[in-house]
Amino acid sequence: MTEKQNLISEGKAKSLFETSIANELLMVYRDDTSAFDGKKKEALSGKGSINNKFNAFIMSHLQRNGVETHFLKQTSDNESLVKRLDMLPVECVVRNIATGSLCRRLGVKEGIKFEEQPLFEFFLKDDDLGDPLINDNHIIAFKWGTADEIEQMKKITFEINKYLCKIFDDAGLILVDYKVEYGRYDGKLILGDEFTPDGCRIWDKETGESLDKDRFRKDLGDVVESYQIVAHKLGVKV
């Protein structure tokens, strides 16, 4: 087992530790679950372990398809080794179907499908400000990233969307929307953070049922059980 050293950061659902290797970190997935900028919180038994395995499955799939990520290997039930990145303070949200904050913000109808090109949005990572929507000019003006990095984030995210929509669709699921984050490594921008049902919306293709963190946000129950259903359909070994 890789030894944890100093705690670097503690997010709402994950903790990041240094290891004996300078540019490798240990990402620990906890059972803690939060929504609404941390206003709603609960520990859901087994969620850390399922998210760790789910993320390992997705990151490995992306890597096999040529998408570079920070993921190195799963080291235990709820821990994975990752490359140490210099993270950009922005979140990239991709939407294949309109729902969530997009509909609240713009008053548009739920369920509109973005078939030709998914909708891409940047948000600033800042809980105190409620992660506000920003655009390319904000990122350049405040030096949160360069014009080239903005282009790369869009290009890689659209690639990711193509690969992921296919595996979810083949599994009888709809990948509605999700959030990804990027960081710098060795002069390149690569995918960091996580891809789990905590950070995406997944609907059952037949029933339209939510099988993601909306179950927690909306008090629908069976949160971990729903993550397990998605994992099972995708072939993730949990």
Give 19 or 93: the residue with its C-beta nearer to ligand C5P.
93
Minimum Å gap between C-beta 202 and ligand C5P is 9
179 contacts 95 by C-beta, under 8 angstroms: no
Pairwise CA distance, residues 233 & 18, whole Å: 34
227 contacts 216 by C-beta, under 8 angstroms: no
Give 76 or 101: the residue with its C-beta nearer to ligand C5P.
101
DSSP-derived 3-state class of residue 57 = helix
Burial of 85 (0-12, 13-18, 19+ CB in 10 A): buried
Minimum Å gap between C-beta 127 and ligand C5P is 8
Start-end of H helices in the chain:
47-64, 101-106, 136-141, 147-170, 214-217, 223-234
Give 160 or 200: the residue with its C-beta nearer to ligand C5P.
200
Q: CA distances (Å), 69 to each of 72, 126, 153, 195, 201, in order?
A: 8, 23, 12, 11, 21
Give 2 or 70: the residue with its C-beta nearer to ligand C5P.
70
Residue 102 half-sphere exposure, CB side, CA atoms within 13 Å?
22
189 contacts 149 by C-beta, under 8 angstroms: yes
Give 56 or 93: the residue with its C-beta nearer to ligand C5P.
93
Minimum Å gap between C-beta 177 and ligand C5P is 4
Minimum Å gap between C-beta 78 and ligand C5P is 19
Minimum Å gap between C-beta 67 and ligand C5P is 18
- Give the other-Cβ count within 10 Å of 48's Cβ: 24
Give 46 or 100: the residue with its C-beta nearer to ligand C5P.
100
Residue nearest to ligand C5P (CB): 100
Minimum Å gap between C-beta 33 and ligand C5P is 12
- Tokens 């548009």 locate to 108
Return residues touching ligand C5P (CB under 6 A): 91, 93, 100-102, 131, 177-179, 199-201, 213
